[in-house]
Structure 1
Amino acid sequence: MSSIPLSNRKSPTLSSIRRKRFPYCALMLLSTSTPVFAAGTIAGTDIENVASATFDTAGGPVTITTNTVTIKVDELLDVAVVNTDPGDVITNPGKTGSVQSFRITNTGNGDEAFALNVDVASGGDDFDPTLQHIVIDGNNNGLYDAGVDVVYVAGANDPVIAPDQSQTVFVVTSTPLSTANGARASVGMTATAVTGAGIAGTSFAGQGQGGGNAVIGSSTAQAAANGFLVVQSASLALVKSASIADPFGGQRAVPGALVTYRLVATVSGDGALNNLVITDPIPSGSAYQAGSLTLQKSASAAVALTDAADADPGTFNGTRVAVAAGNVPAGETRTVTFKVVIQ
């Protein structure tokens, strides 16, 4: 992985640094949300214009031209931030290393460095997690890779993002040991243009890309988004076993032998696990035995399930079995069995 520059902060004395595009600032479009596009012509572009006039003389037509008028496009400072988690990120009491994902998009028209800030104590929620790190997605894969991705240090490696480009950033937190099951916490990510932020239309003379001015856009050059953590005290253990009955009365794995798979899901801790679904693909080299799917709830007897997608919670779709076990309280088990024949 390429080394991280000591400073990506943009300032009048570091104008050459701010025009670089660093490897970790590549486009990360991992969400299906509507993209936000940068504002028009790239900052620093010279728009040149020359007018002309033609008139007739005794010697023929004559054309004259004006002087060249050059207008340098100013840099518009704008940014957008979104949380890209599909929903609340599950954590547990005392857990460290809970990871939330955010995407910072430069919606201005010039390369810009952005300072990052996280708020874990915004109020109005159930608990305040502890911030461990802000981490920049160093290999641009959209996934948190501890030891590979780059820990953010304010003012030292503020991400420089090109117009229309995005940077994925991770927030890593820990959860207090005393938090109750079901408690939620809001975690806010704010990105602010290093050149400046505030009232739209404010101008910073000579600080734009290419030597022009930098002008704060409609976003105020600062944007924020929130993601949520939810405490789930209940935990799940899933254990799989198999028993074999061969055609000769033994337990050998020969063609024609019947294999019974048993999946035991045990919920422990406090509260419940909601919408538990147990799935298992049919192994290669075997064939599912139709009508063999069952579900057992704790001390109750096993109930046969149909293979079709109907009123009962079991299905076989041709390649795997699935059982929707529902909400399972801590201290209970759900056991799924099905059979295959070795081919």
Structure 2
Amino acid sequence: MTRKPLSRRLDTGRHSIAPALLTSCIIAATLSANPAYAAGTLAGTDIQNIASATFDTAGGPVTIQSNTVVIKVDELLDVTVASTDPGDVTTSPGATGNVQTFRITNTGNGDEAFGLTANVANGGDDFDPTLQQIVIDTNNNGVYDAGVDTVYTSGVNDPVIAPDQSVTVFVITATPAGVVDTNRANVSLNAVARTGTGTPGTSFAGAGQGGGDAVVGSTTAQGTASGFLAVRATSVALLKSATILDPFGGNRPVPGAVITYSLVATVSGTGTMNNLVITDPIPAGSQYQAASITLEAAALTDAADADAGRFTGTSISVAAGNVPAGQTRTVTFKVLIP
């Protein structure tokens, strides 16, 4: 029996070829494009792949397509936690409402709820504060706003964080009355993926966003960070106020008006606040009035000399010295609205 040429054997109208012949055909594969995230493609994304083969027949070129292969991307469970305080948070004996700030970042590839716990009894420090609240930064301004931000309740309002997004969380504590100056306390915040945790690679069938599995990533789906409270037996509060005298004897902030700024530093706690220095930049849109600095109503010079005052060209600075707790120091200076 005479064998048909290859082109004739393929020209059967069935538009299919044997697997052995597929490798000799031109195959085109197209993958759907997805944006890049910290942990890759978003969970639940369907990666679809269709191959094609083109060959010549007596009637002209013919293109066939393979079946569609669909792979659903699993959810990777990963999280990091970091303290965002620039250093130790100052506290004092018996103080309440200490605020420490942490940032929780979802480094996985799916929306994930995270459970939060704070540990105030870490070893290796000087004292254990009392946990008052964990609070979620509801208005996303990075600053604790009592009565505005949301008090966290485990299992009730666990923050749900999108991939590559962060949530700011505040840990609020109280300091025991018996602590002394320079004592420090280690306060940590822990976040765990509600879907599950475990060794990297642990899988939770069907629990991923979009219907795929959830797989524990390199962080074990939990993260912890520490911040420190530092006792200062004295603390200082600085209150700034302003009075205006306009050219007409009134108090309107018009050109020609003189603004007198008053800075009152109040030292509280116990002991002495050492080397207290009060500084204030000259506001934009105003001009410093020469020789207007006072400390406790006593005039100071603008030069960097023996007295406590100094005008730097852009700000005023007053060295108030060592101030015992319970005392105040008042600094004033004047600017002109040109």
On whether the aligned pair clears a TM of 0.5, the verdict is yes
RMSD of aligned C-alpha atoms? Answer: 3.8
User: What is the rounded CA distance, in whole Å, between the counterparts of 1:239 and 1:62 in structure 2?
Assistant: 83
User: What is the rounded CA distance, in whole Å, between the counterparts of 1:61 and 1:241 in structure 2?
Assistant: 86
User: 1:125 is paired with a residue of what secondary structure?
Assistant: coil
User: What is the rounded CA distance, in whole Å, between the counterparts of 2:69 and 2:241 in structure 1?
Assistant: 80
Pairs within 5 Å for 1:163-182: 163-182=163-182
- What does the per-residue CA deviation read over 1:69-100, in whole Å, with 9 as the maximum and x for residues that have no partner? 11111111000111111221122211211111
Say if 1:181 and 1:232, in contact at 8 Å, map to a contact too: yes
User: What is the rounded CA distance, in whole Å, between the counterparts of 2:105 and 2:240 in structure 1?
Assistant: 45
Say if 2:92 and 2:269, in contact at 8 Å, map to a contact too: no
Match of 2:212 in 1: 212
Match of 1:135 in 2: 135
* 1:164 Cα deviation from its structure 2 partner: 0.6
User: What is the rounded CA distance, in whole Å, between the counterparts of 1:79 and 1:195 in structure 2?
Assistant: 12
- What does the per-residue CA deviation read over 1:301-333, in whole Å, with 9 as the maximum and x for residues that have no partner? x7954446x898643245642224465454776
Match of 1:113 in 2: 113
Judged with a 3 Å threshold, the aligned counterparts in structure 2 of structure 1 residues 197 and 335 are, in CA distance, closer, same or farther, namely same
Match of 1:100 in 2: 100
Q: Does 1:321 align with 2:316?
A: yes
User: What is the rounded CA distance, in whole Å, between the counterparts of 2:177 and 2:171 in structure 1?
Assistant: 19
Judged with a 3 Å threshold, the aligned counterparts in structure 2 of structure 1 residues 279 and 195 are, in CA distance, closer, same or farther, namely same
Judged with a 3 Å threshold, the aligned counterparts in structure 2 of structure 1 residues 49 and 86 are, in CA distance, closer, same or farther, namely same
User: 2:190 is paired with a residue of what secondary structure?
Assistant: strand
Match of 2:39 in 1: 39
* 1:119 Cα deviation from its structure 2 partner: 0.4
* 1:279 Cα deviation from its structure 2 partner: 3.2
The structure, 1 or 2, with the larger RCO (C-alpha pairs under 8 Å, 6+ apart) is 1
Give the letter for the 1:48 counterpart. Q
User: What is the rounded CA distance, in whole Å, between the counterparts of 2:66 and 2:337 in structure 1?
Assistant: 88
Say if 1:307 and 1:315, in contact at 8 Å, map to a contact too: yes
Judged with a 3 Å threshold, the aligned counterparts in structure 2 of structure 1 residues 200 and 330 are, in CA distance, closer, same or farther, namely same
- What does the per-residue CA deviation read over 1:126-184, in whole Å, with 9 as the maximum and x for residues that have no partner? 11010111111112222212222111111111111000111111111111111112211
User: What is the rounded CA distance, in whole Å, between the counterparts of 1:241 and 1:137 in structure 2?
Assistant: 29
User: What is the rounded CA distance, in whole Å, between the counterparts of 2:50 and 2:223 in structure 1?
Assistant: 40
Give the letter for the 1:315 counterpart. R
Match of 1:151 in 2: 151
Say if 2:46 and 2:71, in contact at 8 Å, map to a contact too: yes
User: 1:229 is paired with a residue of what secondary structure?
Assistant: strand
User: 1:50 is paired with a residue of what secondary structure?
Assistant: strand
* 1:106 Cα deviation from its structure 2 partner: 0.3
Quick one: percent identity of the two aligned structures? 70
Judged with a 3 Å threshold, the aligned counterparts in structure 2 of structure 1 residues 327 and 199 are, in CA distance, closer, same or farther, namely farther
Match of 2:50 in 1: 50
Match of 1:124 in 2: 124
Say if 1:181 and 1:270, in contact at 8 Å, map to a contact too: no
* 1:193 Cα deviation from its structure 2 partner: 0.5
Q: Which runs of 5+ in 1 are unaligned?
A: 1-36, 243-251, 297-301
User: What is the rounded CA distance, in whole Å, between the counterparts of 1:142 and 1:304 in structure 2?
Assistant: 39
User: What is the rounded CA distance, in whole Å, between the counterparts of 1:253 and 1:59 in structure 2?
Assistant: 99
* 1:235 Cα deviation from its structure 2 partner: 3.6
Match of 1:233 in 2: 233
User: What is the rounded CA distance, in whole Å, between the counterparts of 1:207 and 1:198 in structure 2?
Assistant: 14
Match of 2:16 in 1: none
Judged with a 3 Å threshold, the aligned counterparts in structure 2 of structure 1 residues 270 and 108 are, in CA distance, closer, same or farther, namely same
Say if 1:293 and 1:307, in contact at 8 Å, map to a contact too: no
Match of 1:90 in 2: 90
- What does the per-residue CA deviation read over 1:10-61, in whole Å, with 9 as the maximum and x for residues that have no partner? xxxxxxxxxxxxxxxxxxxxxxxxxxx6211000000000111112121112
Match of 1:34 in 2: none
User: What is the rounded CA distance, in whole Å, between the counterparts of 1:213 and 1:292 in structure 2?
Assistant: 70
Match of 1:3 in 2: none
Pairs within 5 Å for 1:203-282: 203-236=203-236, 265=265, 267-274=267-274, 276-280=276-280
Matched residue count: 294
Say if 1:290 and 1:307, in contact at 8 Å, map to a contact too: no
Match of 1:18 in 2: none
User: What is the rounded CA distance, in whole Å, between the counterparts of 2:97 and 2:259 in structure 1?
Assistant: 40
- What does the per-residue CA deviation read over 1:208-237, in whole Å, with 9 as the maximum and x for residues that have no partner? 111111111111111111111112221446
